[in-house]
Amino acid sequence: MKKSKKEEHFIRKPVYKGGKEALNKFIRENLIYPEEALREKIEGRVFVRYDISHRGKVIRAKVIQSLGYGCDEEAIRLIKLLKFEVPKNRGVKVTFHKDLYINFKLPKKKTPPKQSYQYQVKSSAPAKKEPPKKSSGGYSYTIKIK
């Protein structure tokens, strides 16, 4: 008769559905850069320590390393949105403690698309009317010289 293999850990830890990549994607998509930090051009990271209940919800969050300018409040808001999957732990209700850095990096400025100009020079002699050509974007000018 074979013995059943024991689990490696007595208490199994909560995991974010999709793993670390999904967690980072969630933070990138839901991060709202604070207006005050944008105005002051503040970049950096906020270190947050938080607790996860036995149901997978974040119940407490505390900023350990602050950045200020509204970034701390935004980091807490993001952490409170997280939901974790907690496996059964032999009937024991366990509160888990985790740490996370939230990076604040100023958004890149969008450069306006380059504009191109086309000039057509026509003689003053009357010519056949051509149907207007469709342009591929931008502007088209016709300059008549008399």
CATH number where 60 lies = 3.30.2420.10
Report d(CA 60, CA 40) in Å as an integer: 29
Beta-bridge partner residues of 103: 45
| Residue 115 located in a structural domain | no
| Residue 32 located in a structural domain | yes
> Whole-model pTM above 0.85?
no
B/e letters for 57-85, b = 16+ CB within 10 Å, e = fewer, are ebeebebeeebebbbbebbbebbeebebe
| Residue 50 located in a structural domain | yes
pLDDT recorded at residue 95: 93
Total Cβ atoms within 10 A of residue 139:
9
| Residue 121 located in a structural domain | no
| Residue 118 located in a structural domain | no
Q: What is the DSSP pairing of strand 96-104 with strand 44-52?
A: antiparallel
| Residue 89 located in a structural domain | yes
Counting the structural domains of the chain, the total is 1
Say which range, 40-44, 63-67, 103-107, 132-136, has the weakest mean pLDDT. Answer: 132-136
pLDDT recorded at residue 130: 60
Residues spanned by the domain of 76: 19-104
**Per-residue pLDDT reduced to its tens digit, 52-111:** 999 999 999 999 999 999 999 999 999 999 999 998 888 888 999 999 999 999 988 776
| Residue 36 located in a structural domain | yes
